[in-house]
Amino acid sequence: MRTARKMLSLSLIAGLMVTLTVVMNSDSAQARPNYKKVITKTYEDNAEIKKLGCLVCHPAKETGKGVNPKMRNLYGMAVGKALGEEKVKDEEKIQAALEKAAGEKSEVEGKTFGDLIMEGMVPFTAPE
């Protein structure tokens, strides 16, 4: 009886250790630090962009904490289209995509995303 209980305890501990190892080593966050780095560097004079970080391209989660990496606002879609592929790490390609997206029409009539950014605004319309 003691041996069976001891084996069960060891199995549970081993299972927990494996689970913890998988969770801690998983790449569940899909953040692209180069994107944020290049955007904030490119638009360093825009305090709103620095403050928002990833929210410049992605909407907030419904919980209000963090971003929804699978969704993009119109500016995020324009940047993604300009990149032409996912998971781009090359900073020059990201920079070129930002420049191309800046020329796209925004939701504000008569303004491009770049116009809004240069005016110190964010390149998207916040949900009401």
pLDDT per position as a tens digit, 31-54: 566 898 999 999 999 998 888 888
Q: Are 34 and 91 contacting, i.e. CB atoms less than 8 angstroms apart?
A: yes
Q: Are 122 and 52 contacting, i.e. CB atoms less than 8 angstroms apart?
A: yes
Instruction: Give the pLDDT confidence score for residue 20 in this predicted structure.
Output: 57
* Percentage of the residues of the chain whose pLDDT score is greater than 70: 76
DSSP string computed for 22-62: HHHH-------HHHHHHHHHHTTT-HHHHHHGGGGTSPBPT
Token pair, residue 48, equals 């709103």
Domain spans in the chain, listed from the N-terminal domain onward: 31-118
- In a 13 Å sphere around the CA of 101, the CA atoms on its Cβ side amount to 26
pTM: 0.70
Instruction: Give the pLDDT confidence score for residue 5 in this predicted structure.
Output: 76
- Mean pLDDT of all residues in 97-116: 94
